[in-house]
Structure 1
Amino acid sequence: MPKPKANYKSYYEEKYFWVRPSSLGKLFAFCTICNKDFKIAYGGADDVNRHGQRVYHRKRCKELNDDQTDFTKILPHSHGKGSSILDIPKTDKTKSPRTIRPITLEIHKSETVGDIVPFSNHHTSVPVSENSFILPPNKLTKLVTSWLEEDCPNFDYAALAVGEKYDRAELWIKSPGIVSGIPFFDAVFQSLGCEVDWLVAEGTKIDSDLPKSIALVRGEARSILAGERVALNCMARCSGISTLAQRFIEKTKSLEWHGRIAGTRKTTPGFRLAEKYALIVGGADTHRYNLSSMVMLKDNHIWSAGNITNAVERVKFAAGFSVKVEVECRSLDEGVEAAESGADIIMFDNFSNEELHIAAAAVKEMYPSVMVEASGGITEDNLASYCGPHIDVISTSTLVQGYPAVDFSLKIVRN
């Protein structure tokens, strides 16, 4: 964990009228505009400037300038720890109003203080993506720990060159794509004691003005560099999957097909959580996450069980009502047998386009509630031929195996 590099300085008050010492200690500052403490331990003046750029702070400043006659609001030069809107006494509104000098609010650019380097492109933090709420924190921590241990199992010799010097690095996106994988990027650097501020939201499509700076990482130089490759690998791969998934979705929408595009379980060992998450960011379906997510009876299951009916009956007894059963079928007859046996989803695998749509129509006519999935050899180029009125799901391994990675780089900010 990096050591804090900045304590509260009195000159902050000369530069920013709204900042005061915090009752939480010298590693924090208090904002009289927002009525809250904020951390300055790693950025000092830079953190104060960054707070002044945040959306809520600027909104509060605007509110103050719009109504200067309300004495319950903060005045520009209140003093003392924890001075806030709650500390200013109300006036008797029956008396003559006082003349109030309007407050002129300015957003100050930070200056170099010690080893703090200004980051002129940074304006405000971006809200956390709601998609990240589905990621189990304990699983994320374990994954990041294993990735970092793989990359540095013992000595990090290059760390001697930079030591514990406080530094900052910019994340640049260098090729067109959807920004994806932010929770994994954040988790890598948080585990190393660094902080990350984003300039774009996850899911943002960036295809112009490249290369483009999209995030700032702050912390000890050795920690930033220790997490660099692992974090970039996450972003490159997740962004590649999300970008390709979105292209698939856009193509099906242009055809007015209303089914689901799904990525298969043919994922990279140890990286499935990230790859499945990237499918969601791109708008695609994750299909089943693992063997426990849904029952899928493939040809080997059928051959071992003897026939489709036996296989379906056995698994439905154990799976119960809460787990769907899907059967991989090689012909229309197998599809009908699977539906009769109680399968919820019929997958027609490696069918020709003509055979696929004929079989799907026949199954839907007999069993309207059964879902039909098309799979096998589906790419971006031939996707349109698989979209039909009787196809509910199109699954493909291309989304998790055939995607081009998006190019990212992380560069230390130089004076």
Structure 2
Amino acid sequence: MDSYLLDQQLHSFLREDLEHGDITTDAIFSDKDQARAYFTARHPMVVVGMEKVAWRIFTLLDPGVSTGRLLRDGKRADKGDVLMELTGHTRSLLRGERVALNLVQRMCGIATLTAAFVDQVADLDVKIVDTRKTTPGLRLLEKYSVRAGGGHNHRYSLSDGVMIKDNHIAACGSITKAVERVRRRVPHTIKVEVETDTLAQVEECLACQVGVIMLDNMDLATMKEAVAMIQGRATVEASGGVSLETVRGIAETGVDIISVGGLTHSATACDIGMDWCSAMSDQQR
């Protein structure tokens, strides 16, 4: 994650929550009070964002906040494990608590779900990838979380790659026409991907020599036939209706990539607590 872009987002999230200040915290604690707190896993999970997101939020609020330990991205944590330790001004820890937890709970949920999909096909030569079905404003964090869980990223935005989908084809008239128009406009360095849902469309893609053929919502038998037709002449992506129960069967058809929108749009946030130690004495500081 690019820290320049990330910091802009984190600043905006903090502005949304703090606005004119934390009137509760400021009324209870002085600017001299200090404390220590821990981010703790409430259940097993894949960890992501402790250093790059959570700790960064606190240091943007107060450069004096320090961390004694934190788990690196991609590590697997058990219930009760300390994910991050924070020491600093009590006001700063309380001001950043909710924003930091909201983000890393979401991120860890995505990483944990991604890891479950990756585990299902770990012995097969296939990649689990995400889609653009991300939360507006959180794409950078969500796609990073997929990578922390062992998955891979599809295109980041509409400007990253050509994907001719069903609506493009319907509006244009055919795959062949759409591919011809694209190739007149885009650089030769960009691969062309086409979404298909029939074997006839797969055959048309082969005739057009596209780089990536997506098999969308095909049953396993049709998918196997499509892979046999393609014979390595294009990268094969499977998409649509992919779940933890179906991903293994899809992978066994011989596709190269399986895209799963649910990695980002349906992941359940992990339960992470911010547990407080008692206020620190002058000697402890």
Instruction: Compute the TM-score of the two structures, normalised by the length of structure 2.
Output: 0.91
Equivalent in 63, 87, 92 of residue 218 of structure 1: 87
- Residue type of the alignment partner of 1:244: L
> How big is the shift at 1:195?
2.5
> How big is the shift at 1:199?
3.8
- Which residue does 1:175 correspond to in 2? 43
Superimposed CA distance per residue, residues 110-169 of structure 1 (whole angstroms, 9 cap, x where no aligned partner): xxxxxxxxxxxxxxxxxxxxxxxxx11110111101111122223421122223222221
Relative to structure 1, the CA distance from residue 226 to residue 361 in structure 2 (aligned partners, 3 Å threshold; closer, same or farther) is same
- Which residue does 1:343 correspond to in 2? 210
Matches within 5 A, 1:293-372: 293-364=160-231, 368-372=232-236
- Which residue does 1:410 correspond to in 2? 274
- Structure ranking higher in helix proportion: 2
After TM superposition, the runs of 4+ consecutive aligned structure 1 residues lying more than 4 A away are none
State which structure, 1 or 2, has the greater radius of gyration over its C-alpha atoms.
Answer: 1
| Secondary structure, aligned partner of 2:86 | strand
- Which residue does 2:75 correspond to in 1? 204
- Which residue does 1:233 correspond to in 2? 102
Instruction: Confirm or deny: 8 A CA contact 1:189 1:196 kept in the other structure.
Output: no
Superimposed CA distance per residue, residues 275-320 of structure 1 (whole angstroms, 9 cap, x where no aligned partner): 1001111110111111111111111111122211111122223221
> How big is the shift at 1:232?
0.8
- Residue type of the alignment partner of 1:179: V
Q: Quote the sequence identity (%).
A: 34
| Secondary structure, aligned partner of 2:5 | helix
| Secondary structure, aligned partner of 1:290 | coil
Equivalent in 127, 139, 152 of residue 18 of structure 2: 152
- Residue type of the alignment partner of 1:203: G
| Secondary structure, aligned partner of 2:146 | helix
| Secondary structure, aligned partner of 1:197 | coil
Matches within 5 A, 1:9-408: 135-160=1-26, 161-164=28-31, 165-182=33-50, 183-193=52-62, 194-207=65-78, 210-253=79-122, 256-364=123-231, 368-408=232-272
- Which residue does 1:14 correspond to in 2? none
Instruction: Compute the TM-score of the two structures, normalised by the length of structure 1.
Output: 0.63
> How big is the shift at 1:389?
5.0
Instruction: Confirm or deny: 8 A CA contact 2:205 2:213 kept in the other structure.
Output: yes
The alignment yields a C-alpha RMSD, in angstroms, of 1.5
Instruction: Confirm or deny: 8 A CA contact 1:140 1:187 kept in the other structure.
Output: no
Bigger relative contact order, structure 1 or 2 (CA pairs below 8 A, ≥6 apart): 2
Instruction: Confirm or deny: 8 A CA contact 2:43 2:80 kept in the other structure.
Output: yes
Instruction: Confirm or deny: 8 A CA contact 1:374 1:391 kept in the other structure.
Output: yes
User: Across the two proteins, how many residue pairs are aligned to each other?
Assistant: 274
